[in-house]
Structure 1
Amino acid sequence: MPINLDEAIGAELDPVEFSWTNSDVQLYHLGLGAGSDPMDKRELRYLADDTPQVLPTFGNVAQSFHMTAPPTVKFPGIDIELSKVLHASEAVTVPGPIPPSGTGIAVTRFTEIWDKGKAAVIWSETEVKDPAGTLLWTQKRSIFARGEGGFGGDRGPSGSSSAPDRTPDLELSVPTSPQQALLYRMCGDRNPLHSDPDFAAAAGFPRPILHGLCTYGMTCKALVDNLLDGDVSALKSYGARMAGVVFPGETLRVSVWKNSDDAQAAFTAVVTAPDRDNAVALAGVEFTPA
């Protein structure tokens, strides 16, 4: 059905209460490749029993972590087939470290919907608070829905994959494993696009693709490890635009630029796949220390 802007914009979903455990956090970090060197004490901080440090990007998946069925895209004024949907962007801001276990209450509202002609871009914002009302994190997300444009809405700004016009200050290599998507799907994202070759083919891909949120999380971890000495508490916010696909088994390149000489300056990054002519996977990466 066509998108109904009057019904969708500003719609606020009912509060959702959810909980997570330190085992969930450990599994999430394993899904991002943590522990590749089991003798590295920095890596073990992500996997410690009872008190693992928590990457802020866990907040982007915590609410859906225990889902065992494919998600649906059915909200007020919005009803879209899952096969038409791609993740477009994600961001998270944390006022302090996310606890390794706890309970959150999430309230999501739809903030913008852009009409791209042949597609729609749908934006939402979620605030997660603990039962006492303390803000734990704020999440912003957009999805790209193919074939859902043409409803007469604002086109919105045009995205760009261009990197700063100078040599990167840092380049990182981030390997993915052939089974990365099969492991990461245990974190709650059961979209068959990432596990079923036939479903992926029907969606126009030669094989299942890696979850955008996996690439997103792996990049955040690589930046924390290399820019903040592996200390997640030193990160304030992180976000990125999913600009292209990643196939499990590829090694990614993260090109990083510091935005100024200030000690607390934010960083910009672009993630590419060198073996596919540097195809852009993540663009507009923004990484802001606390």
Structure 2
Amino acid sequence: MEVQCDGGRYILFKERTVIGQAVLAGDRITGLAIDPRWRRHGYGSFLLKELLRRNGGYDRAAPSLFYAPLPRPDDAAALALAQKFGFTVQGDALCRRRVPDLTAVELSHRFLRDSLPSGGLYLDATCGNGHDTLFLCGLAGAHGRVIGLDIQQQAVDATNALLHDNGMSGIGRAVCCDHRELLRFAPPGSADCVMFNFGWLPGADHAIHSTAGSTLPALRAGLEALKPGGVLAAVLYSGKVIGSSEKQAALDFFRALPLKDYTVLICEFANWSDTAPLPCFVLRRQH
């Protein structure tokens, strides 16, 4: 089977025969139909799922919204198909609304979005594939500046490409550098935010990952870089590959910080596993 898109019309082929179609106009799905000879074989599910997938309906990191007309009262199969894919009755239409899953990284983004001013200096100390760096560029705005750091050139290149593709090269850039050396780019007391997302580079060799030996000096440097009122954000990981020594060392470091200088938040997902990512925030207090 194959689905081809012609404008907003999605056409389902079985070999070379058209057996179904649907239309997407904006956020409204209409005209979903399967040739009667091919009904009750899962082809309607295949077509609807593919239409949703191609338009962000299964993107865990972004919201999505779709509407469809209510089926006829006697069309129980059409209603069952809609309900299978999360549509519910809303007024005189069907509605499928999804919001992003609350992950450790998404929680960090929400906290920083609500806590930081635009126009400052932001550091992504572990830029990876660049998604956190891109997020910080959006926070920094046209008058801000973002520096992404990573020890792997592959990560630096991916980050700079992502910033370029999203029109953010004038705000942010990534450089190949150990995060322990971040004070080269943010003198003491100059940064509004220093962000860490530890672990390994997604899509790369998992044997290459951050360790306590590099993480603790980097965290110390990050705190030194913060200006009063600045925020250090860190997502900590543990598991079979990387163990738990880095996570535990970072937690011990955070908990030992003096209250007169810092407010520390460690946000636990209480009903997740013990190895779930752990978002942490350190706020440098203003005296």
TM-score band w.r.t. shorter chain: under 0.3
- TM-score, structure 1 as length reference: 0.25
Q: Which has the higher helix share?
A: 2
- TM-score, structure 2 as length reference: 0.25
Mark the structure with the bigger radius of gyration.
Answer: 2
Say which structure, 1 or 2, has more relative contact order (CA 8 Å, 6+ apart): 1
